[in-house]
Structure 1
Amino acid sequence: MKHIIGYDMSQHFLLSPAAKTLSLVKVMRMSDAQAREAFRKIRWAETDGSPVCPQCGGREPYDLKTRQVYKCRACSKQFSITSGTIFASRKLAVRDILAAIAVFINGAKGYSALQLSRDLSVDYKTAFVLLHKVREAIEIARESGALSGDVEVDGAYFGGYVKPANERKDRKDRRKSINQTGKRQSVVAMRERNGRTVTHVTRSEAEGVALVKAHVAHGSTVHADEASHWDKLAAYFPIKRINHQLAYSMDGACTNQAESFFSRLRRAEIGTHHRIAGRYLHAYAAEMAWREDFRRVDNGTQYTMVVAAAAVAPQSRQWKGYWQRKAA
């Protein structure tokens, strides 16, 4: 994200030619054979697209004439181009999956399942699971390891909306826990300056103290606001505090980059999804963290990154047969 050549700082990156290297038209015009070829080369890049058996690692499979599958000479197992990946047991054509990833990438504020179901003319349930599989692949592929250097930490609450009463005399203070639904959750963000963003969903922002201790390397400088629970971090890290009632940045202390991530997540909630709370909040948070970290990478590279992540992500335990379990 720091190596885009020729980027004019006076122009927003998304408006510049450097941001647009992916053509949705080209993806949609692919034949199924071309789409399978593209996916195969990304999945088995180390063998230049030559299939590798996901069961035993055999590298001499052959095509079956009757179906679009391979058969391994070593273990005799049959496998398809998506076997062993997060798209195993797919019903959609590979071209439709690649098209879904392409439009997902181009959604600057995220991309909703309802929109995908309309764009690809598929059932909403199919679109919902497909996009969540993409988010899971992104979450799995996120670079691991401790954050270091200057790390900004903050939390924000999502969900648990309480509709205000019609008449003023009946309205209650919705900030008090007694007047809330109990569904409100906190997203704790730890953002390395000019680096990665790590997110976790907790019941309260105060639980972020233990997360910072677990995910930030010793010797790093932590930047936090004046919330009292962050006081405990002073025993483990050099810490800089910023009082937002006085300023957003002062003497090198600020949490502006963490706030930037929350702004992106809020825009996704308000402008695209309208509801991102509940059991899937962590998936949306991870997606927006990825979008924020790679916001200055062209969409063609982002597309390749996500397809590659999906091609190596294992079969999903959460999303395989999701709607069948819901029906039961």
Structure 2
Amino acid sequence: MAQHFLLSPQARTVSILSVASMSEKRAYAKLKRIIWDANGGKPICPHCGGITHWEIEDDKKWRCLGCRKSFSLTSGTIFKDRKLSYRKLLTACVIFANGVMGVSACRLSRELDITYKSAWVLLHKVREAMGLDEETAQLAGIVEIDGAVFGGSLPKLPNSKSLWDEFRKKNKVAAKKRQKLIVVMRERDDPQTGKTGKLRTFLLGKEGDAIEIARNILLPDTIVHADMSPQWEPLQLLFETKRINHSEHFSHDGACTNMAESFFERMRSAERGVHKHISGAHLPRYAMELAWKEQNRRVSNGSQAAMMIGAIGRAPPSKTLVGYWQGRKAKPVSNDNPPASVNDQDDDDAIAYLTGRKA
């Protein structure tokens, strides 16, 4: 029997000890090499992309000769105006890479000795960067499409068994309203080339809303596998489609959605075992994170951390997480409450992207 990848030495290329023992100067140099890898670790202006500059602070701040604007390592990135040290940011990325099912903000706050609020925002910024890095990915070959609902669990049952039926009946409708639908489109791995399939996730009101998204991100010769839900009927007009009746078979005549179900099991395991509860307003970021981890499940933790940092360097400042604890909180998305935020059209656009809907 083949050894699981996570048990092999190839899965462990960096340890928390090696990162935590770094000096601040060394951690800063490591982040520079990763974020500005395209220029050999030398500064790139986030405003115009220029590579000619002069130092205005000892290897900490520069001014671009092209646009004449000042910038630092995290300027124009999702970590703009960060207050944590570079060593803590680097350590957080390694901890995040080591969490196969994700990392809770409570755990990260204890390990880095930072407040829960700082850990919560940091993790969500990394999740958002991971999702933005895959926003242009198109899928081809064999793609499985499926949907599943998350959240909306009932409160703790009363101690008296005689009250259970009445309790369930009373709370079932309210719990159902809190449930959110995640639709996944998962490309199967290619055994001939060894290429790992990509994943895209979307928070939608119903499965049928994914038809237009599939039209845009699936290449024309894609073979689609879906279950027998009537919501997927239009797929047959757009792509070669195979359907599977889950009430009778897991797989039949080559049709199955087991890989999509495997991703949903990862999400449910993370919800039960790591986070305990995932708010509907932030479910898209958790889905993007776990899709990224599923897609890179056979990549070493050191390479995963480097990929995260690279995505952070490419992601613009978050429009929904800046000032989150100061009151600029995004409203939960539901059918009755369309995507919106506090007071800014830019926030509306950001939430529209996260939910997969057009603004």
Q: If the length of structure 1 is used for normalisation, what is the TM-score? A: 0.90
SS at match of 2:178: coil
In structure 2, give the amino acid aligned to 1:119: E
- Counterpart contact for 2:154–2:171, Cα < 8 Å: no
Report the alpha carbon displacement of residue 169 of structure 1 after superposing the two structures with TM: 4.1
In structure 1, give the amino acid aligned to 2:19: V
The answer for the alignment partner of 1:101 in structure 2 is: 93
The answer for the alignment partner of 2:187 in structure 1 is: 192
The answer for the alignment partner of 2:113 in structure 1 is: 121
Equivalent residue for 1:70, pick from 46, 62, 71: 62
SS at match of 1:200: strand
Report the alpha carbon displacement of residue 55 of structure 1 after superposing the two structures with TM: 3.5
The answer for the alignment partner of 1:280 in structure 2 is: 282
**1:170-181 maps to which residues of 2 (within 5 A)?**
170-172=166-168, 178=173, 180-181=175-176
The answer for the alignment partner of 2:339 in structure 1 is: none
Report the alpha carbon displacement of residue 318 of structure 1 after superposing the two structures with TM: 1.7
Once residues 254 and 34 of structure 1 are traced to their aligned partners in structure 2, the CA distance between those partners, rounded to angstroms, is 49
In structure 2, the CA distance between the partners of 1:53 and 1:216, relative to structure 1 (3 Å rule), is closer
SS at match of 1:191: strand
- Counterpart contact for 2:154–2:168, Cα < 8 Å: no
Q: Deviations over 1:174-232 (max 9, x none)?
A: 897x4545221100011111111111001223323333233222232111112122122
- Counterpart contact for 2:226–2:256, Cα < 8 Å: yes
The answer for the alignment partner of 2:129 in structure 1 is: 137
The answer for the alignment partner of 1:6 in structure 2 is: none
SS at match of 2:234: helix
In structure 2, the CA distance between the partners of 1:73 and 1:164, relative to structure 1 (3 Å rule), is closer
In structure 2, the CA distance between the partners of 1:225 and 1:181, relative to structure 1 (3 Å rule), is closer
In structure 2, the CA distance between the partners of 1:48 and 1:183, relative to structure 1 (3 Å rule), is same
Q: Deviations over 1:5-39 (max 9, x none)?
A: xxxx6111111111111121111111111011111
In structure 2, the CA distance between the partners of 1:76 and 1:223, relative to structure 1 (3 Å rule), is closer
RMSD: 2.3
Report the alpha carbon displacement of residue 45 of structure 1 after superposing the two structures with TM: 1.7
Report the alpha carbon displacement of residue 93 of structure 1 after superposing the two structures with TM: 0.6
The answer for the alignment partner of 1:311 in structure 2 is: 313
Once residues 280 and 245 of structure 1 are traced to their aligned partners in structure 2, the CA distance between those partners, rounded to angstroms, is 32
- Counterpart contact for 1:185–1:277, Cα < 8 Å: no
2:81 corresponds to 1:89: yes
Once residues 18 and 6 of structure 2 are traced to their aligned partners in structure 1, the CA distance between those partners, rounded to angstroms, is 20
**1:13-32 maps to which residues of 2 (within 5 A)?**
13-32=5-24
In structure 2, the CA distance between the partners of 1:146 and 1:45, relative to structure 1 (3 Å rule), is closer
- Counterpart contact for 2:16–2:95, Cα < 8 Å: yes
Report the alpha carbon displacement of residue 145 of structure 1 after superposing the two structures with TM: 3.9
Once residues 136 and 325 of structure 2 are traced to their aligned partners in structure 1, the CA distance between those partners, rounded to angstroms, is 31
Moved more, 311-320 or 195-204: 311-320
Report the alpha carbon displacement of residue 237 of structure 1 after superposing the two structures with TM: 1.6
In structure 1, give the amino acid aligned to 2:26: Q
In structure 2, give the amino acid aligned to 1:15: L
Q: Deviations over 1:267-313 (max 9, x none)?
A: 11111111123111110001110110110111111111111111121
In structure 2, give the amino acid aligned to 1:135: R
Equivalent residue for 1:289, pick from 291, 295, 306: 291
**Which consecutive unaligned segments of at least 5 residues does structure 2 have?**
190-196, 330-341, 343-359
In structure 2, give the amino acid aligned to 1:114: C
- Counterpart contact for 1:187–1:201, Cα < 8 Å: yes
The answer for the alignment partner of 1:246 in structure 2 is: 248
Once residues 145 and 255 of structure 1 are traced to their aligned partners in structure 2, the CA distance between those partners, rounded to angstroms, is 20
The answer for the alignment partner of 2:31 in structure 1 is: 39
Q: Deviations over 1:85-138 (max 9, x none)?
A: 111101001110000010000001100111100000001111011111111111
Report the alpha carbon displacement of residue 163 of structure 1 after superposing the two structures with TM: 3.0
Larger RCO: 1 or 2 (CA < 8 Å, sep 6+): 1
Report the alpha carbon displacement of residue 143 of structure 1 after superposing the two structures with TM: 5.9
- Counterpart contact for 1:113–1:131, Cα < 8 Å: yes
Q: What percent identity do the matched residue pairs reach?
A: 43
**Which consecutive unaligned segments of at least 5 residues does structure 1 have?**
1-8
SS at match of 1:278: coil
Moved more, 97-106 or 222-231: 222-231
2:63 corresponds to 1:61: no
State the aligned residue count. Answer: 318
- Counterpart contact for 1:154–1:190, Cα < 8 Å: yes
Q: If the length of structure 2 is used for normalisation, what is the TM-score? A: 0.82
Once residues 39 and 211 of structure 2 are traced to their aligned partners in structure 1, the CA distance between those partners, rounded to angstroms, is 45
The answer for the alignment partner of 1:5 in structure 2 is: none
Moved more, 183-192 or 137-146: 137-146
Once residues 111 and 155 of structure 1 are traced to their aligned partners in structure 2, the CA distance between those partners, rounded to angstroms, is 24
- Counterpart contact for 2:47–2:69, Cα < 8 Å: yes
The answer for the alignment partner of 1:255 in structure 2 is: 257
In structure 1, give the amino acid aligned to 2:128: E
